[in-house]
Structure 1
């Protein structure tokens, strides 16, 4: 189908109320139906807990959490925490954000791929659906291998949607199956007992009752079928089942009705919960396969389970930056050395150097010593001409770092690539990451007038303003200091590296004006710090909830102590027994920013969502800026407390405005709220949340008010930019076309009489070759829309697993309004190896005593040969999944010329089980398990053992005969 026609048809489908043909994507407003969001989150929590349990067992720690479908994010984070202290401040923000990425990506399948039968297992497309799953899982594994975890989450969410839909759209449940259909994630297993293309499967429903519409012979023969679905045509093969529902036209043709179990009111709604439970178990099984392939620790990184943020530096390496580089080394080494081995050790380290004419490469690692070595190798050289490629380096960091990261940029030069400002702003808004600039030797306005005598590397005020604007948009700071004072300013980096840092309050006044600001301090807050940036003439006064006060003339006083360096004032607050409302009065006519942070488990995340109206109306993730004059909706998730009661979510006008708009709250369960705003402040605004948090002790329950504020600014736009790629993966050496649409809106709705010309910019973070129109024009009579296409070519040398972020922007002719679409794509090489590694047990020997009290004095040994076959991609890793022994490996060549990995495992007789996991280069997983049991008799007799072939994984049947002097049970499991 041509791309343009696809876009038109998708638009038509999405304009139909209730056209989605799957479990509800995000919310269930009627009854107690499970959604894709519920199913995905429950599966993620279960498998994450299983990974934590395995790690705890390997480290000899207890893990007491009961793993079931009732787990909460907080329970899993607490159980997976290795601090062992009940008073530690734990943050669940990163985990919440990662899970949200997955279920939003899941939900978007119903938007982007609404007409794809194989992505929903409609029309009996079982082979096509499995192909989608296998390709998606390969993409996830490839992303993890390159540590592209953000891209991996988006790919994983899409895969989960297709897998979950199988259990609602097929008759697997009606056939009496109560376990997942493992063949859907095992390409080496056949899809069996499929109903043929001419085999009738359904009969008419009776007066709207579809309970028994599947033909008895289909059920008796165990034939697998799924419903046909079409919103445009009623045609379907004779005698075939339909999906069902108001907008499925095929369900009006004999046999009428449907078999879907999308919610409790669906055609087969009585089986909805059974289908949802199976979908959860199937998602767990898929996550288990990924976890085996990537290992427990990388799996937890993919899930986003971390108590700490990344340490991310973007550093100018030109000649005048030697002092700055030295300070970046000092502060990063200090953070690494003080936090290594603790819960607060950075979850990853990112370094992006830049200069002119180059930037990068991006270095991302979890190994602190690798990061140390990389930053040690930086040297300041070249330069002399002022502009450098700062924003290109920042673009790499924004797309590589997890969402909501804090990124620090060190430079003393203007940005040569200032044309990327709107792209950087779009990425900041999309990722909600905070960018702080450490600017050295910025010219004052007085010195700027005498620029002729200034050094060539000094930043002018106009050059610095670009960095200030980006810092303001992200909720970061532009700290301007001399090179000699830089070490005093980098305390903000150490502050941000603490665990569970939250923003309590933030304000910008540009232009500057004296103002009074209030914020609430709650009992959960620790280490409260206020930052004020502004001109040297700025003064302030701080008043606590008890009435105590301290002015800027007192560097130390009853409320704390503050230091001044450059344009930064850092105030460390003493909040002991002073919960309640605080006030800061700032006196300055120059621009300034105010930010108050602390450490607390209680926080929130939010995402813009947009509604699709109708009988099955739901929401999906809103990319780009909200539309001016229209309704705006947020999905807000409170983190870190099960006792929080949210009282208000407010949009607060930024940059000097004082307008506030309260939203209408609707609870959607588990601390999540759908918040709708009928009006949105013009210009930029931020999200603020207020509520009550109850704390129960032995003596009483106390409640205190709290507030939190998001850092990232949001702006509205009258321009709408939508883009949809036909595929989210690209093969190396290939080109993808991405159609996009630009439209003008009035009061949030497309203005079909509008016309105009818009500047188009398309950028990708990999500098891959791309083409796009320079402008698009909305002509009269075009319905207020203009279409265009961006092409992106991936070099043949691109590694499988590489992520690509494509940003498409449209700006009006007056350059006063801009909006954008952000697409996340993955480079995935075609996978041809779908065969799991094969294992053959060579020997099992032991001299284990019958008495368990004597087990530590004896050893047993397990030996096996593993191979990926002559045509396989080769075994890439072999690890011990179960067992406390020692594994040694060597390589050999088999009789057929295949490479063989020889595994020898030895363990104490106290540990009588072993399970080895072999992963080939394509991510296929094979496991080999053995168990030895000592007899209770004193005499020995030879026995024969037979390896068994479990039905769940479809591996190879092996027969092994060996003489052993103890009773041995060997089980070989193939996955």
Structure 2
């Protein structure tokens, strides 16, 4: 059956692609290599996405195992379409149900998407060096080294999202090396160790005039090329690297890169490659298992496995260079979310500051060391006119100290620069977190509302406002009162909160601390949204809540003046409210009621709300099962790399948008199936129900909407858990369509913004709606954006406009500093945005790593066990030096911090000077290693060898004399033994000779003669033997009778022998 599919499915594709104008057969995958998704073939075809996921699974398992000591299980046989399921199981094995893998999924998808989009982005999809095509090995490796610098410097500065994007782009090029070059055909079983390594050699490259391929024949003589051994033997034998040319490619300067004629170079090959018929005809790519698209399809799996190994090795190099703490942040392997406070520090905010301090300290103290502890901490103070400085840290003590230093001073409740502060907080917060804003003043920078909202939506971060004082005094006493309240600049906060899925809480100064209990309930490791309704009508509302077997700690919040709540379990019984009851009240204010349900039974629960005014209702819970979604563009199938890439900004109305859904924590032990993707209004009404096309079982789905609703909506996923209980999850971020869209036309990986430098980047705005004049604006969190070439573009329907943005980095900006840019376009009835990042790079590449050397060791840890390691200590002295941009960091890596570390005369940026350090610890830390990094991310590692005994005393002369005497005595003894042995042999030989002489005298020779006669007789005929034997016996007997001595026998026997010879003759 597999052979049938392998042969006839490509035939079907040829028919569809040949006779369909658009080629609508499409298999949606990120960076897809047209690999099927059926169980039968899923273990044979590897896309860029599957290769990346597989490597991420391996490094995540290694990290969790080393840090938590958990059993990660056997990962060797995990199929490509089961990797995300295995990641979910990995997190459950290490943490149980209290931790969600959602943030790791987000990091993985961000890397994977950036990887796949290299094939789809206009700046890189036809760039040979981005794919190691057209023998561009020098340019391809230069691209890897450039991206490596961007990855490592971004991580050094804590710019993890930018680092993930650069990593994905790097991995695409790295993985393509094994699919597009002849590395596999040379017979290599391990990755190329020189790729993406500063100063390393990647191997010899075939000269431009060296023929590398021979013509291939077509399947059945006329269908497609199926090539085997078409790479010239001498090329592989000499170890010359070559790769195929592909049609319509251009270099970085826009010059065409065509396959040379008359040389015999290889083609990329495959159905869509226009160069495949240019001699040497055929191709060598190994992108898929199907020969229709990959002439070397039989080597696809070998190339994929090498790509997995190379990808995994790159991740491990990042871990070594950055250290475990930053590596965990980079891949979101920390389990908590961000605890982020944006606080107004003017004089009127004294009560709010005190309350936020107390709540932050309470949260940190109660969760320290647990999986539910926040992963990082952000504090952004603001006033008028100051914003910041922002505190971003992984250290809870540093955060507590920073918030403890806040003081309310100056100003009052006049408008403040709150949105600027929120923008900074959003740029540094982990995706899926919540930013809490404390203020009693309106926004003075309301022009940033669209930029802030767009960034929050793009990162799926909720923004929640605690408004006290003049802004929060308008109460929700009736619908009319609500309408009155939502006027003026307060609408700015409400708009941001509603769009990002947050909320606005009106409180008095005395209610601030009690209300911040919500922070404790929200900042968790596995919060999921079950229901969110805004402006539910006054009266009695009955709301259905499906509780599945993965849920615990259900939080219900009703926001409405004087609203009451009743909770009915699946049997219809009203649950009482009390301190030790299933339902307990956590917060109760005039406008806000929050209750918690513990130990909930799976089934359909009912929430009955009684309110005289409209109210908001939200229900969250703790669960490891959730989902993520993105709008994606899919390419038509008339390209070498059909696939999908994330849509920047809002989806365009009037089109058939594709939505990718990734389930988190979903596997057969918890989830039975996922049934639909619903589009739901802010009031809870279902606008559309979309069926889901399964791409990876219980992990990845795609849905297509015929046309998106014009009103704002949010997404909800429904299905059934493993016990057939209904489940649902909601993403509270509101989605709205647009009639315009952006495309960044500059390859940001080649954009070199240096400290004190200026760069221009270009973009295009497309208008899919009616004629309009679009107002353009750009802003960023670091203040790098200087100007746009034009701030407005008049566009007719279907037209596009080109524009240019200028950015300047401060001269003091460290390498790796990354600014998050939000670009917006707005016209009457039209709005869209795009978010991208630009990183500060060194003026020139520095590929020489710093040096680390162990120069002295005192003490030994030989034969020391775990029970006695504390009884012995050692000291290691190390030396460090850099010849490039200078040293950045020097640190020991040990299993604990129970050591003494002294670093002499070190400062960041030090170059061409040696720095020494001393490390003293017990032998329990004998596996210590020392890591040094420079300002551009290069690093070196050195490790002391403490296992053998260390020389503590010199060897004295007496020891040499003793050794010499011992050797001399041994030689004398040996000579004596040899002499005795020789004498013994001579004595034995003499005795043997004497015995022989005696035997001869006694007639022994006659016996010897008889023995020889018997041996000769064996070769004669039986008759001759009988005659000779008889004659001889007679003569012997006759002589014996006439002589009385043995000596006569010898003589006569000799005479008899002569007679025997005469007879034979």
TM-score (norm 2): 0.77
* 8 Å CA contact retained: 1:234, 1:249: no
Matched, 1:364 2:427: no
Structure 1 counterpart of 2:1043: none
Matches of 2:944 and 2:214 in 1, distance apart? Answer: 50
Structure 2 counterpart of 1:43: 55
More displaced 10-residue stretch of structure 1: 145-154 or 821-830: 821-830
Matched, 1:111 2:120: yes
Aligned with 1:212 (options 211, 224, 229): 229
Q: How does 1:178-189 map to 2 (within 5 A)?
A: 178-189=189-200
* 8 Å CA contact retained: 2:377, 2:393: yes
Per-residue Cα deviation, 1:598-654 (whole angstroms, up to 9, x for no partner): 111121222221211215531111111112232222222222242213332333332
Q: How does 1:388-787 map to 2 (within 5 A)?
A: 388-441=416-469, 442-444=472-474, 461-509=487-535, 515-534=541-560, 536=561, 538=563, 541-549=566-574, 560-561=584-585, 563-573=587-597, 576-577=600-601, 579-586=602-609, 591-614=614-637, 616-643=641-668, 644-656=671-683, 658-669=685-696, 671-694=699-722, 702-728=723-749, 729=751, 730-745=753-768, 754-772=770-788, 773-779=790-796, 783-787=798-802
Structure 1 counterpart of 2:322: 294
* 8 Å CA contact retained: 2:766, 2:799: yes
Structure 2 counterpart of 1:926: 940
User: How far off is 1:282 after superposition?
Assistant: 0.7
Q: 1:843 to 1:469 in 2, by over 3 A?
A: closer
Matches of 1:159 and 1:675 in 2, distance apart? Answer: 29
Aligned with 1:123 (options 114, 121, 134): 134
Cα RMSD over matched residues? 3.7
Matches of 1:852 and 1:766 in 2, distance apart? Answer: 52
Matches of 2:65 and 2:130 in 1, distance apart? Answer: 33
User: How far off is 1:563 after superposition?
Assistant: 4.4
Q: Secondary structure at the match of 2:732?
A: coil
User: How far off is 1:195 after superposition?
Assistant: 0.8
Q: How does 1:847-862 map to 2 (within 5 A)?
A: 856=869, 859=872
Q: 1:612 to 1:941 in 2, by over 3 A?
A: farther
Q: Secondary structure at the match of 2:326?
A: helix
Structure 1 gap segments, 5+ residues each? 1-14, 452-457, 695-701, 747-753, 943-975
Matches of 2:446 and 2:538 in 1, distance apart? Answer: 25
Matched, 1:197 2:208: yes
Matches of 1:386 and 1:590 in 2, distance apart? Answer: 30
Structure 1 counterpart of 2:1054: none
Matches of 2:56 and 2:516 in 1, distance apart? Answer: 37
Matches of 1:244 and 1:802 in 2, distance apart? Answer: 41
Matched residue count: 889
Matched, 1:900 2:914: yes
User: How far off is 1:156 after superposition?
Assistant: 1.3
Matches of 1:843 and 1:878 in 2, distance apart? Answer: 17
* 8 Å CA contact retained: 2:61, 2:72: no
Matches of 2:915 and 2:180 in 1, distance apart? Answer: 43
User: How far off is 1:808 after superposition?
Assistant: 1.6
* 8 Å CA contact retained: 2:473, 2:507: no
Matches of 1:580 and 1:340 in 2, distance apart? Answer: 34
Matches of 2:507 and 2:897 in 1, distance apart? Answer: 54
Matches of 1:185 and 1:704 in 2, distance apart? Answer: 50
Q: Secondary structure at the match of 2:940?
A: strand
Q: 1:213 to 1:24 in 2, by over 3 A?
A: farther
More displaced 10-residue stretch of structure 1: 435-444 or 868-877: 868-877
Matches of 1:225 and 1:913 in 2, distance apart? Answer: 43
User: How far off is 1:869 after superposition?
Assistant: 4.7
User: How far off is 1:406 after superposition?
Assistant: 0.8
Matches of 2:687 and 2:171 in 1, distance apart? Answer: 39
Q: 1:202 to 1:137 in 2, by over 3 A?
A: same
Structure 1 counterpart of 2:815: 800
More displaced 10-residue stretch of structure 1: 315-324 or 717-726: 717-726
Matches of 2:840 and 2:765 in 1, distance apart? Answer: 27
Structure 1 counterpart of 2:804: 789
Structure 2 counterpart of 1:953: none
Structure 1 counterpart of 2:35: 28
Q: Secondary structure at the match of 1:473?
A: helix
Q: 1:682 to 1:876 in 2, by over 3 A?
A: same
Structure 2 counterpart of 1:91: 100
Q: Secondary structure at the match of 1:713?
A: strand
Q: 1:398 to 1:845 in 2, by over 3 A?
A: closer
Per-residue Cα deviation, 1:498-526 (whole angstroms, up to 9, x for no partner): 33111111112278787543221122221
User: How far off is 1:827 after superposition?
Assistant: 2.1
* 8 Å CA contact retained: 2:437, 2:464: yes
Matches of 1:800 and 1:708 in 2, distance apart? Answer: 41
Matches of 1:766 and 1:854 in 2, distance apart? Answer: 53
Aligned with 1:52 (options 60, 64, 78): 64
User: How far off is 1:268 after superposition?
Assistant: 1.1
Aligned with 2:151 (options 115, 121, 140): 140
Structure 2 gap segments, 5+ residues each? 1-21, 219-224, 250-255, 957-1065
Matches of 1:261 and 1:331 in 2, distance apart? Answer: 57
* 8 Å CA contact retained: 1:542, 1:584: yes
User: How far off is 1:42 after superposition?
Assistant: 1.4
* 8 Å CA contact retained: 1:654, 1:686: yes
Q: 1:853 to 1:399 in 2, by over 3 A?
A: closer
Per-residue Cα deviation, 1:105-140 (whole angstroms, up to 9, x for no partner): 111222222122211111211121112111212112
Per-residue Cα deviation, 1:211-255 (whole angstroms, up to 9, x for no partner): 222111101111001111232778322321121223322223111
Q: 1:539 to 1:335 in 2, by over 3 A?
A: closer
* 8 Å CA contact retained: 2:895, 2:925: no
Matches of 2:793 and 2:295 in 1, distance apart? Answer: 46
User: How far off is 1:312 after superposition?
Assistant: 0.4
Matches of 2:898 and 2:680 in 1, distance apart? Answer: 61
Q: Secondary structure at the match of 1:569?
A: strand
- Considering fraction of residues, name the structure with more helix: 2
* 8 Å CA contact retained: 2:193, 2:202: no
Q: 1:591 to 1:513 in 2, by over 3 A?
A: same
Q: 1:604 to 1:124 in 2, by over 3 A?
A: same
* 8 Å CA contact retained: 2:91, 2:101: no
Q: 1:277 to 1:125 in 2, by over 3 A?
A: same
Q: 1:168 to 1:84 in 2, by over 3 A?
A: closer
More displaced 10-residue stretch of structure 1: 166-175 or 462-471: 462-471
Matches of 1:487 and 1:858 in 2, distance apart? Answer: 51
Q: Is the radius of gyration larger for structure 1 or structure 2?
A: 2
Matches of 2:280 and 2:580 in 1, distance apart? Answer: 82
Q: 1:758 to 1:794 in 2, by over 3 A?
A: same
Matches of 1:785 and 1:572 in 2, distance apart? Answer: 52
- Considering fraction of residues, name the structure with more strand: 1
* 8 Å CA contact retained: 2:206, 2:241: yes
Q: 1:412 to 1:277 in 2, by over 3 A?
A: same
Q: Secondary structure at the match of 2:195?
A: helix
Q: 1:341 to 1:26 in 2, by over 3 A?
A: farther
Q: Secondary structure at the match of 1:40?
A: helix
Structure 2 counterpart of 1:971: none
* 8 Å CA contact retained: 1:664, 1:677: no
